[in-house]
Structure 1
């Protein structure tokens, strides 16, 4: 009857290192077989079989070395991530290469999906064209500034919009606040720039 050696492991996202304590093992007698979801170790009447492995391994990159106290087996994972155990019946995780693209392409694809939301937002804001000076006599000044405030207003929540409207109107255009809690307490005072004097034009 074969003897099962004591063994332990530690891992990173890319690799799992298995230590098989088989003191004085003869490298010429040690046989390690790598399969995608299994590993077998034999040395005379000492044997260890791990099947199925918790995840799939790259059999072409996995290797081992025989020392005086232990045999160190290095398993290179096909899909990055922690196993937490040597064996497990869970199905293989779909790797980027199996999905048809490399890891870098997978990251790029994910980023593109996130950017699509920015594109949708930009498209919506672009469709909200501001009124011309003929349509609204209050429109004027630097178009870039107008666009900035239009975007700020579009992205704001209801309280922020109320605060912006109330502060701008009550202050005669000298104050623009986004703090509704503060603005709602009372009338917003006119605050002309330093060195300037506020005058209300009569019709």
Structure 2
């Protein structure tokens, strides 16, 4: 049994779970919704989420099988963000009857920044970092510099480290002959001024 890769994003009333199971056969996919448990199985792939961080409405929750992923919509019984799929957080519904869920109750408002970041990066995937070094946000830029550093010789690496640390992150040089002559100056972007943080 293998666990398929999955990720989620959420709103106050719904959590959308993407299960990456390329070419899943809709006839073979089995999904089970319970108030605090979700189960997915297809062939040798199984995903069990228990206990869910909050309670869901099994009757309203549903899913669709796509070519690349299975998208599951978990409808929350109580408004609010979970921040995670599973957890032992007390069920917000256990303290009051389901029929009279007070709308004034604040369930931990907690943005799922990872999910938001992934969503933004997924939207930007149309352009690759080879076509535009700025595509894909910070992750692509970091990947570019990691590759540059990994493929560099010892002098180039030394130049990169020295120039970056001495300039406070405003300069990155690969020329060791230039950098080794002295301290690398701080060069803030045009229109900005450099201020040293007080310790």
Which structure has the bigger radius of gyration?
Answer: 1
